[in-house]
Amino acid sequence: MTRTPRRLALCGLAVLAAAAVSVSFGASGVGPGDLWRELQGGGDPAARSILLQLRLPRAALAALVGAALGLSGCTFQALLRNPLAEPYVLGVSGGAAVGAVAVVVTGIGARLPWSLPLGAFLGAVAAMALVLGVARRASPGRMDTRVLILSGVIIGAFFNAVILLLLSIADVESFRSAIFWMMGNLSGASVQRVKLTAYLAASLMVAAAVAAGGVIGFVGLIVPHAVRLAWGNDHRLLLPASFLAGTAFLLLADTAARLVVAPAELPTGVVTAVAGVPFFLALLLRGGRR
């Protein structure tokens, strides 16, 4: 087996192990033994309900969100030629947050539960389109990454102001719901066309991820960079490895969120931030010593 398939196989085994841990452990006391008995067809009905109706869907969502953030983070780092870029750098999370907070504050979310992820997704797509429109208008005929970053920063700042405005008029319950969502709780070839395709694909993955799980930070920053530090800059390996590593990382982070203060539960975004901030600081210190 050559080096690249071997490394991807290692990432795949890490995903399987993380998925098994995620499904096996939780605050309810249902553990690996119950999972084994369920796989053999002899599990307790209550344990089966917890495993299949609670933990398995949550593990699947964590896997999908982690994969999307890991892959999109890797794509943005390549697109922007910056190893410290992350999926939310272009304002997508701000747009998603505006959509979600607007749904919560107006009371639509309480009446139509499915409207929250829909509002977040539409807001993220709107942010993506706005950033891309500004960047293309400012640098017609080419995708200038510097203009793209500046557009994302400015539009992200605008969205943050809109979020603060919405929160200032929200009642207490809506305020708490919005804040909890924003903490993240469980998307003729030429160079220019490749850039545009990469931007659209990565932004849509981020939009889908934040719509499903909220703004979960640091996954798209630390996962691709950790893979790059370990195995180099070859994107034939880096992209699929980031996809798999993001899956495994968020599965384990979500498991920790359920276990650390059990029977209560931490927002998953808090756990990823606790892991990500030291890593990010280490990168800055490492870069400063060069």
The mean-pLDDT minimum among 30-39, 161-170, 192-201 falls in 192-201
The residue-averaged pLDDT of 102-131 equals 82
Average pLDDT over residues 120-146: 80
Whole-number pLDDT of residue 154? 84
Mean pLDDT over 159-188 rounds to: 79
pLDDT digit string, tens, across residues 73-94? 777 777 777 777 776 777 777 8
**What mean pLDDT is predicted for residues 128-146?**
78
Q: Residue 263 is encoded by which pair of tokens?
A: 């029977």
Q: Are 59 and 22 in contact (CB under 8 A)?
A: yes
What confidence score (pLDDT) does residue 202 get? 66
> What would the pLDDT profile of 210-255 be if each residue is shown by its tens digit?
666 666 777 777 778 777 777 777 767 777 888 788 888 888 888 8
Predicted TM-score (pTM) of the model is 0.60
What is the pLDDT at residue 126?
87
Maximum average pLDDT range among 27-36, 109-118, 139-148, 245-254 = 245-254
Cα–Cα separations (whole angstroms), residue 125 to 92, 142, 232:
7, 21, 32
Which has the closest alpha carbon to 131: 115, 110, 119, 147?
147
CA 119/CA 101 separation, integer angstroms: 8
pLDDT tens digits, 90-116: 777 788 888 888 888 888 877 776 787
Determine the average pLDDT of the residues in 196-204. Answer: 60
Mean pLDDT of the chain: 76
